[in-house]
Structure 1
Amino acid sequence: MTGDATVRPSEEDPLAEIGGLSLGPAAGGPPVLHDAHLSVPLGGVLGLVGRSGSGKSSLAYSLVGHVRPGLEVRAGTVRVAGLDPFVRRNARALRGRVVSYLGQDPAASLNPALRIGTQLAEAVRLRSSATSGSQVRRRVDELLRSVRLPADPAFRRRLPRQVSGGQAQRMALAIALAGSPRLLVLDEPTSGLDTVLADGMRDLLAEVLSDGDRAALLVSHDPAWIASVADEVIRLEAGRIVGAGPPRASVPDPRPFASAPAAGPGAESARSAAPVGALSVRGLAAAHGRVPVLHDVSLTVPAGSCTAVVGPSGSGKTTLARCLAGLHRSARGSVEWREDGVERGRAAPVQLVAQDARGALNPRESVSAALLRPLRGVGRRSAGDASREAVRLLGLVGLDADVLARRPGELSGGQRQRVALARTLAAGPRVLVCDEITSALDPQTAGGVLDLLDSLRHTLGVTVVMVTHDLTAASGHAQRVVVLDAGRVVEAGAADRVLRTPEHPVTRALVAHAASAAPAVPDLRR
């Protein structure tokens, strides 16, 4: 980028403007973003939609003067409040106070060694006018309440690993709001939230933007949510803007939930008292430090079947997923996998596909190295066989072989999530515990991943536990649904029964919000 604008825009000028922006690999090759134009006016909300890898995040990054490793700016201009964010001194003046960015991997933006209250207080001191201890504490309390998080001392003392994915998302948003920025750039802001909290995020944004002196750019795979909050929607495909226009919501489907396919061959009925093969959980309890998170959780997942675990953000779903995979040390109770003929000496039969794909992958390690390690270590394959299997696994999750040479930082959020799934499959698990693995994927790609899980269940007999906020995905792919609230199972049963005739108030609230979210059909006109 060239030039350094020093004159602030008038009230009539857009708060942010991009003209003819093109990004491409620094080593040469086709552009990943080509001739992009957009304008964000004061008080406006602009939505970006498109498939994973279409360039949405790259376009959003440019507003804070950042490009992904390995890319360079080839042409175009970017202005935020009249300043070029790619100029270093402008970036220092803009970031946090004029423009704040919240990425789709919120846990990556939190310091794992610092307590929540400490991190938020530091952000307030750096970005706001609060100076005294009492002013900082009041502002911290305001921010926590504004994003629907507890403001009590016990919550502020928690570490990032001691909160749910949805809570980490809202914590990162609170930090982004600490300096009262004029422009919010939010990349997948609802990916870790249940339908109730997603509606709350929409209301929160409306409140933040209500004075007309702020604006937002939102990147999302949720067309219904974008339609409910954005003034204009831009669609990208393969790095190009292919349409723009106002969103238009269609009539909600009065019966939004479809029946799931039957369990795979050899799987017993979910109602069976003693299935031949099953993941059995009995009396499971877990805590983060002295704070109880799970209480006497029991469930059974028949071999070859899929059970969806749903519930409000912070209800304990991610902690349950980590307990099932043996990753939560303080867990009490029993988690057992029973199946005749299981080979001894193999890797643990339960494997976790984590919600935070960035944190699950080594940032210094190529995709190839991430896949070859389990293929050669667990599968005892030769180098040639392992390389061919790595390519096959990438194809299964919808990625081309050219990503093998890339590192996680050179991939989109959706691509990282699919690489994490491919690496888990490389270990040959009998049980896949999938924690919000479609949250960063566009609907088409997410559907492909869920169909892949169905295929694995039917062809390989893999058992799936799917932690999700997407009740439509749960109804279409799970035979059973378990509903958690405050660390307890409040309802469980066949998916059709639980989602069509819910009995518990928490389940009814989740279903009602999902049913009221109208599918959106953006009216995109050039």
Structure 2
Amino acid sequence: MTGRTPPRTRATETVAEVDGLTLGPVAGGPPVLRDACLSLSAGQVLGVVGRSGSGKSSLAHGLLGHVRPGLEVRAGTVRVTGLDPFDRADARRLRGRVVSFLGQDPASSLNPALRIGGQIAEAVRLRSAAKDRDGVRARVGELLLSVRLPADREFRGRLPGQLSGGQAQRVALALALAGRPKLLVLDEPTSGLDPALADGMRALLAEVLCQGDRAALLVSHDPAWLGSVADDVIRLDAGRIAGRGTPVASPSVPRSRAAPGGGAHGGGVRVAAAEPDVARVNAAARVAVAGGLSVRRLHAVHGRVPVLHDISLTVPAGSCTAVVGASGSGKTTLARCLAGLHPKASGTVEWSGAGGSGDRGALVHLVAQDARGALNPRESVGVALTRPLRGVGGLPARAASDEAVRLLGRVGLDTDVLGRRPGELSGGQRQRVALARTLAAAPRVLVCDEITSALDPETAGRVLDLLDSLRRTLGLTVVMVTHDLAAAAGRADQVVVLDEGRVVEAGRADRVLVDPEHPATRNLLARADGPVLTAPD
């Protein structure tokens, strides 16, 4: 989106007020949110920005009366249409009817065993005035059409697993809108989508936010989007509101280490030959090491539907290979196949070189996009790390504890997180814990599936720097599934492009992303947000 949304007619009704809200760990320690104050009027969109761990999600969830496990309200009040969301009785009156939430993975709110039409109908019955059968059916159709989905019987009869990623996101939005809420809380609802799907979802949300007098709190690390839809923006830093102001429409948003420069290619994306940096030179030297991950004639299906077709590729030992492609191209399925986690696959995936050879076995490990979902919410970080150290590594309890501390240091975390659970960590901290747990199993290959998609640019850069460091110090081989072409250009030695389950282009990153041969690659470059490869001054 390139321009500001036309100004809305602002009503004077106050929808939400936060006064001095302070949240902190139950066991003591510094607050994660300090003396937060804000007011939201009908028709107002308030943007919230800040690095990972700054308190953005804690503030957003506070409007719902939610406090993540391990935290407590230390001071302050929250009122939504005069009701207290932390009061159980008030919360029942608010949730879904007055205030609705759309988070970083909206599709996870769908029940995989219930058909789409039934789920939306149930939300309508619970949250709106429509109760009779015809009224509910009409409202379901209206909601589906409002989020640009078919309202016919066939679509209503689908299960969530039969939807594309973009369709699932839109159904989740329809559920959030079922009760005609006065306040919509959006916490990075497009962070896990590829650029094309994210653009479509942002455009749809912009339309939703402009309708009527609904207020919205929008947490995002995309200043261009905030500049298009928000009336005001607050910036959080270390739990405090550190600044307020009017958003700037469509600024330049750096998404990796790529430097600014001139020229254009395909939809305004800047592409030119980049001078290799020290890390790239070191990586190129490591590629010369014998061995690596070899994939031959790999096929995979979901149910009876083929999703990967005759995939063959080689990932040299010590290198970084980026796998890119549009949503639905098969990237995540390929990642799961490489790690041996997709049962319906044929072909071979073998590792040869230092640390073992033959079938990949325990040598290839997946680091998933959703670190929160990958970690047991009831286990402390210490337990999550020591279990593989004792089970896979065979270490006694004391040695495993010492090694857990060393692993935390390797991923840049202090020992004070050992006693915390995943819900008590920021997104960046959870991702680092997930990496540390993977390292505990002593893999030779890390398969990273969109591990930075839910992180702000600064934290994402730190996680990618960490991966580079692990490659240098441990000699790891990295397969990086990503929709961020700038990250692929800045970090990878080679790029593999998937389209409809097939490898359509592969080669050196600075060749594929400068002089693409396949239309699918050119289309990805045309849709990229900002620079991919740039020339030095």
* Structure 1 residue 499 displacement after superposition: 2.1
Cα distance in 1 for partners of 2:58, 2:502 equals 40
> Partner residue of 1:51?
51
Assess if the C-alpha contact under 8 Å between 2:110 and 2:160 holds in 1.
no
Cα distance in 2 for partners of 1:150, 1:286 equals 29
Q: TM-score, normalised by structure 2?
A: 0.84
2:279 aligned with 1:279: no
> Partner residue of 1:3?
none
Assess if the C-alpha contact under 8 Å between 1:165 and 1:355 holds in 2.
no
Q: Which amino acid aligns with 2:442?
A: G
* Structure 1 residue 226 displacement after superposition: 3.0
> Partner residue of 2:99?
99
For 1:92-131, list aligned pairs within 5 A. Answer: 92-106=92-106, 108-114=108-114, 116=116, 118-131=118-131
> Partner residue of 1:488?
502
Cα distance in 1 for partners of 2:164, 2:465 equals 26
2:469 aligned with 1:451: no
Cα distance in 2 for partners of 1:117, 1:293 equals 26
Summarize the Cα distance change of 1:408–1:317 in structure 2 as closer, same or farther, 3 Å threshold: same
Summarize the Cα distance change of 1:417–1:504 in structure 2 as closer, same or farther, 3 Å threshold: same
> Partner residue of 1:501?
515
Summarize the Cα distance change of 1:41–1:321 in structure 2 as closer, same or farther, 3 Å threshold: same
Assess if the C-alpha contact under 8 Å between 2:350 and 2:358 holds in 1.
no
Summarize the Cα distance change of 1:441–1:209 in structure 2 as closer, same or farther, 3 Å threshold: closer
Cα distance in 2 for partners of 1:124, 1:318 equals 33
Assess if the C-alpha contact under 8 Å between 2:349 and 2:360 holds in 1.
no
> Partner residue of 1:16?
16
What per-residue deviation string (whole Å, max 9, x for no partner) do you get for residues 303-332 of structure 1? 111111122223222111111111111122
Cα distance in 2 for partners of 1:379, 1:282 equals 30
* Structure 1 residue 165 displacement after superposition: 6.3
> Partner residue of 1:522?
none
2:446 aligned with 1:432: yes
| Secondary structure in 2 matching 1:64 | coil
The number of equivalent residue pairs is 503
Summarize the Cα distance change of 1:381–1:169 in structure 2 as closer, same or farther, 3 Å threshold: farther
* Structure 1 residue 182 displacement after superposition: 2.6
Cα distance in 2 for partners of 1:395, 1:222 equals 30
Cα distance in 1 for partners of 2:202, 2:360 equals 46
* Structure 1 residue 464 displacement after superposition: 0.8
Assess if the C-alpha contact under 8 Å between 2:191 and 2:453 holds in 1.
yes
2:89 aligned with 1:89: yes
Summarize the Cα distance change of 1:276–1:413 in structure 2 as closer, same or farther, 3 Å threshold: same
Assess if the C-alpha contact under 8 Å between 2:52 and 2:456 holds in 1.
yes
> Partner residue of 2:223?
223
Which moves more between the two structures, 139-148 or 215-224? Answer: 139-148
Cα distance in 2 for partners of 1:129, 1:307 equals 53
Assess if the C-alpha contact under 8 Å between 1:263 and 1:306 holds in 2.
no
Cα distance in 1 for partners of 2:143, 2:315 equals 40
What per-residue deviation string (whole Å, max 9, x for no partner) do you get for residues 187-227 of structure 1? 11121111122222221112112224112212123334333
> Partner residue of 1:264?
283
Cα distance in 2 for partners of 1:102, 1:228 equals 19
- Among 393, 401, 414, the alignment partner of 2:407 is 393
> Partner residue of 1:442?
456
Summarize the Cα distance change of 1:481–1:67 in structure 2 as closer, same or farther, 3 Å threshold: same
> Partner residue of 2:265?
none
* Structure 1 residue 389 displacement after superposition: 2.3
* Structure 1 residue 74 displacement after superposition: 2.0
Which moves more between the two structures, 349-358 or 163-172? Answer: 163-172
Summarize the Cα distance change of 1:27–1:191 in structure 2 as closer, same or farther, 3 Å threshold: same
Cα distance in 1 for partners of 2:168, 2:365 equals 23
| Secondary structure in 2 matching 1:337 | strand
* Structure 1 residue 484 displacement after superposition: 2.2
2:195 aligned with 1:195: yes
Give the aligned CA root-mean-square deviation in angstroms: 3.1
| Secondary structure in 1 matching 2:418 | helix
> Partner residue of 2:4?
none
Cα distance in 2 for partners of 1:297, 1:154 equals 32
Q: Which amino acid aligns with 2:283?
A: G
Q: Which amino acid aligns with 1:445?
A: T
Cα distance in 1 for partners of 2:460, 2:206 equals 28
Cα distance in 1 for partners of 2:296, 2:139 equals 43
* Structure 1 residue 350 displacement after superposition: 0.7
Assess if the C-alpha contact under 8 Å between 1:167 and 1:314 holds in 2.
no
| Secondary structure in 2 matching 1:264 | helix
Cα distance in 1 for partners of 2:234, 2:139 equals 35
| Secondary structure in 1 matching 2:59 | helix
* Structure 1 residue 478 displacement after superposition: 0.8
Cα distance in 1 for partners of 2:387, 2:125 equals 44
> Partner residue of 2:257?
none
Summarize the Cα distance change of 1:26–1:433 in structure 2 as closer, same or farther, 3 Å threshold: same
| Secondary structure in 1 matching 2:37 | strand
Summarize the Cα distance change of 1:125–1:291 in structure 2 as closer, same or farther, 3 Å threshold: farther
- Among 419, 433, 439, the alignment partner of 1:419 is 433
2:344 aligned with 1:335: no
Summarize the Cα distance change of 1:129–1:326 in structure 2 as closer, same or farther, 3 Å threshold: farther
Cα distance in 2 for partners of 1:256, 1:14 equals 47
> Partner residue of 1:382?
396
| Percent of aligned pairs sharing the same letter | 73
| Secondary structure in 1 matching 2:79 | strand
What per-residue deviation string (whole Å, max 9, x for no partner) do you get for residues 67-106 of structure 1? 1122222222212223222222221122112211122244
> Partner residue of 1:250?
251
Cα distance in 1 for partners of 2:245, 2:490 equals 31
